[in-house]
Amino acid sequence: MEPLYTLRGVTKLFQRGPTTVRALDGIDLEIQPGQFVALEGPSGSGKTTLLQLLGALDRPTAGDVWFEGADLVGLPDHELAELRLRSFGFVFQQFNLIPTLTAVENVEVKLIPSGGDRARALQLLDEVGLAERADHLPAHLSGGEQQRVAIARALSVEPRVVLADEPTGNLDSATGGEIIDLLSKLADEHGSTVIVATHDSELAARAPQRLAMRDGRLVGNPAPAPA
């Protein structure tokens, strides 16, 4: 089976005043389709930076990020934007719902480029257990409920990959566990690969695949031999 992602020598440098920060330092990695991967590591180890490259939100300083046979490094910006819209679903720590739209409208808004679809948005809310809350504004939903809406929104386009950056960071641990389990179940049903960044090793332990980062490198995961 062809890997979904193949990373070779991926390095990302940031300039902070006079110092160069090596956020990613020569990452070699393959991710297979259908996997549920936890990306764990302490603050500053490079988790968000790696997720941003996997989600075509940024480009590496050096190295290659292959996604389904295309090297993202060589794609023009408009093709990266297209990938972000159609192939990737994003879930963030802060939920990032639009405060003036109801739950169902927050999901529907993601479907606008493909014509919008209220019925489908409602069905997705039902899948995350929020059918009854469809007409509530985010301010009237709990953190866990808001994150469920964000998951419904991420899945609405049937993305190839869901990229979740500390999705439980603003939730208590019981709710956090429920969110991870829901993400895992739904991604399986929708055929999406999931990559979750977390510094919580208890949550990471729920994932069948774990990748550990330290100082911009993967640790304890020998890189597969180059093809």
Ligand X SMILES: Nc1ncnc2c1ncn2[C@@H]1O[C@H](COP(=O)(O)OP(=O)(O)OP(=O)(O)O)[C@@H](O)[C@H]1O
Instruction: Give me the residues that bind ligand X (CB under 6 A), please.
Output: 14, 16, 21, 23, 41, 43-49, 199
Q: At what angle do helices 118-127 and 143-155 cross, to 10 degrees?
A: 130
* Cα-based angle 142, 124, 172 (whole degrees, multiple of 5): 25
Pick from ligand X, Mg ion, none: which does 21 bind, CB < 5 to 8 A by kind?
Answer: ligand X
- Characterize the bridge pairing of strands 19-31 and 36-40: unpaired
Residue 45, Cβ density class (10 Å: 0-12 exposed, 13-18 middle, ≥19 buried)? buried
102 binds Mg ion per the rule CB under 5 A:
no
Nearer of residues 43 and 77 to ligand X, judged by Cβ: 43
Residue 35 interacting with Mg ion (CB under 5 A): no
Nearer to Mg ion, 48 or 168 (CB): 48
Residue 52 binds Mg ion, judged by CB under 5 A: no
Q: Which is nearer to ligand X, 40 or 108 (CB)?
A: 40
45 contributes a contact to Mg ion by CB under 5 A: no
Please give the structure tokens belonging to residue 187: 């991604």
Q: Cα torsion at 50, 56, 60, 65 (round to 10°)?
A: 80
- Compute the distance between CA of residue 75 and CA of residue 68 in angstroms, rounded to an integer: 13
From 30-38, 43-51, 95-103, 144-152, give the range in contact with Mg ion by CB under 5 A.
Answer: 43-51
Among 6, 35, 45, 48, the residue binding Mg ion under the rule CB under 5 A is: 48
Which of 39/186 has CB closer to ligand X? 39
**Please, which residue, 8 or 47, has the CB nearer to Mg ion?**
47
Contacts of 154 (CB under 8 A, 6+ apart): 89, 90, 91, 110, 162, 164
Which range in 5-13, 45-53, 153-161, 167-175 contacts Mg ion by CB under 5 A?
Answer: 45-53
- Chain residues binding Mg ion by CB under 5 A are 47-48
